Amino acid sequence: MRFYFDNAATTPIDERVLEVMIPLMRDGYGNPSSTHAHGRAVRSEIESARKKVAQLINATPSEIFFTSGGTEADNMALRCAVETFGYQRLITSRIEHHAVLHTSQYLGEHGVELSFVELDSDGVVNYEHLESLLKEEKSTMVSLMHANNEIGNLTDIQKVSDLCKEYDAFFHTDTVQTMGHFEHDVKKLDLNTLAASAHKFHGPKGAGFIYVNKNKRIPAFIHGGAQERGLRGGTENVYGIVGLAKALELSYNEMNEDRAKIERVKSRLIKRLKEEVEGVTFNGMSGDLNNSLYTVLSVNFPERMDKDMLLFNLDLKGISCSGGSACSSGAATGSHVLAELDRDENQAAVRFSFGRFNTIEEADYLIDTIKEFDRVNA
C-alpha cells in the first residue's frame, strides 16, 4: 500500500470525475468544430463546462478560455498582455512558479523592465513596497501568485487587485494551488487574468483555464484555428475540459468538508513533528495553520537527517512526497524559492501536501516512519 503526500504536484483524479469523462471518451468522438450532429453534441459538452466554470467563479462564459494547464495560461496572460497593451514594466516576485518567473525573464530579455517586489524573511509580500513601485509613472502589469506551491504562502490578491486598480496596472494571478481549495469571485477581485489547472483539484492532467476580464481582451496565443473564440487554436481537449468542470464543481460543493479534513491532517503533522522530531522547523508560513495554504507543509529537518536518504526511505516505506516543486525535480539546481528565503542548506527540506483523500491514520504512519528513520540514522 502507498500513501500519497504530494498533492501540490498533482492530485489523484476523483472517481466521480472519471464517471463523466469515460462515456465521452467512448462516444463523444466528434470534432467540436464540425457542424454535424456528432460535432454539435461535443460542442455542447464544452460550452456546458464553460458555463459551469464561469458560474463557480462568478465570471461570464465569454471570459473563460480552456488551456492545457496553468503554465500555458500564465504564458498566455503575460505575453499577450504585453503584446496587446505595450506594458513597459512587469512587477512580480522572485518566488513565483517558473511558469511566471521564466516568462517574466523572457519578457525582460525583450525590452520589458522587470521589478521584483520585496519579501520578508518568510517570503511574505511587502505591500508597501508594491505600492511604491506602482506609484512610479510607468505602464505596468503585475503578476503575483495566490499561494506559493512550495512553501504555502498566501498573497492577499484582493489587496493587490485594489492597488492595481488604483494605479491603473494590469493584474494577473496564478491560482493553480488555490483554485478548488478557496472560493474565487472574479467580479469582487476585479482582476484582469487568472490561471488554473484541473489536476490540482482532483481533475485530469492536461486541462486548465484562463479567465480574461472582458474589459481587457488579449489576442490569440496559439494560432491555427478559431477554437476558444480565436484565442487558442487547436482541437479542444474535450474529455479534459468536461473533467475539469466536474472536478471544480465537486471542489466547490465539498470545499468546507474537504478543508476541515485536510486541516486536521496538517495540524496532526505539525503537532507531532514539533513534539517528536527534535530540530524541525517550517519554511515560509506553511507551519501557521491560520495564515498559509492548508494543503501544503514545507518542513526543514535537522542536519542529521540527509534529505535524499530521507526521501528514499519514505519512498521505500510507501510514502510519496517531494523535496521541492515537482516541476523542478531532477534539476541540478535547488529550489529557487528556498534559496530566496536564505534557508540553511544543511537542513533537509521536504514538502508534504494534502488532498481530500488523506487521513489522520496516514499522517500518523508518516510521522512514525520519519521517527524510525531518525532513530536508525542518529
DSSP string covering 129-173:
HHHHHHHSSS-EEEE--SB-TTT-BBP-HHHHHHHHHHTT-EEEE
Query: How much is the pLDDT for 116?
Result: 98
Closest CA to 67 of 234, 209, 242, 196: 209
Distance CA 25, CA 42 (A): 11
Distance CA 138, CA 271 (A): 47
- Please compute the mean of the pLDDT values over residues 369-377 and round it to a whole number: 89
Tell me if the pTM is above 0.75: yes
Distance CA 336, CA 322 (A): 15
Residue from 80, 164, 321, 327 carrying the catalytic annotation: 327
Query: How much is the pLDDT for 341?
Result: 87
Does the fold of domain 15-253 match that of domain 3-11+255-377? no
Task: List the beta bridge partners of residue 319.
Answer: 3
Is 3-11+255-377 a CATH 3.90.1150.10 domain?
yes
Query: How much is the pLDDT for 377?
Result: 74
Take residue 32 and report the three cell numbers written for it. 467540436
Helix (H) or strand (E) holding 354: none
Cα distances (Å, whole numbers) of residue 50 to 64, 207, 234: 6, 12, 17
Query: How much is the pLDDT for 331?
Result: 46
Quick one: how many helices (H) and strands (E) in the chain?
12, 12
Query: How much is the pLDDT for 42?
Result: 96
**% of the chain surpassing 90 pLDDT:** 88
Query: How much is the pLDDT for 378?
Result: 63
- Please compute the mean of the pLDDT values over residues 230-239 and round it to a whole number: 94
| Catalytic status, residue 327 | yes
324: region left, alpha or beta (phi > 0 left; psi from -120 to 50 alpha): left
Task: Work out the end-to-end distance of the chain between its first and last CA atoms, rounded to an integer number of angstroms.
Answer: 27
Contact yes or no for 349/300 (Cβ under 8 A):
yes
Query: How much is the pLDDT for 322?
Result: 92
Distance CA 349, CA 272 (A): 17
- Estimate the crossing angle of helix 238-253 against helix 255-276, to 10 degrees: 80
Query: How much is the pLDDT for 337?
Result: 93
Rg (the chain; Cα; Å) = 21
Checking if the pLDDT of 303 tops 90, the result is no
Checking if the pLDDT of 210 tops 50, the result is yes
Give the other-Cβ count within 10 Å of 262's Cβ: 20
Q: Describe the chain by its helix, strand, coil percentages, rounded to 5.
A: 45, 15, 40
pLDDT (tens digit per residue) in 189-205 = 999 999 999 999 999 99
Query: How much is the pLDDT for 330?
Result: 44
Checking if the pLDDT of 305 tops 80, the result is yes
pLDDT (tens digit per residue) in 36-64 = 999 999 999 999 999 999 999 999 999 99
pLDDT (tens digit per residue) in 316-349 = 999 999 986 445 444 445 789 998 987 776 678 9
∠311-317-318 over CA atoms, to 5°? 90
Query: How much is the pLDDT for 375?
Result: 86
Closest CA to 292 of 163, 366, 182: 182
Q: Which range is least confidently modeled, 13-17, 65-69, 215-219, 297-301?
A: 215-219
Task: List the beta bridge partners of residue 173.
Answer: 194
Domain limits, the chain: 3-11+255-377, 15-253
- Please compute the mean of the pLDDT values over residues 144-165 and round it to a whole number: 98
CATH architecture of 15-253: 3-Layer(aba) Sandwich (3.40)
153 backbone dihedrals φ, ψ, rounded to 5°? -65, 140
Checking if the pLDDT of 216 tops 50, the result is yes
Distance CA 336, CA 342 (A): 10
At residue 376 the predicted structure's pLDDT band, cuts being 50, 70 and 90, is confident
Take residue 84 and report the three cell numbers written for it. 496587446
Mean residue pLDDT across the chain: 94
Give the DSSP letter of residue 3: E
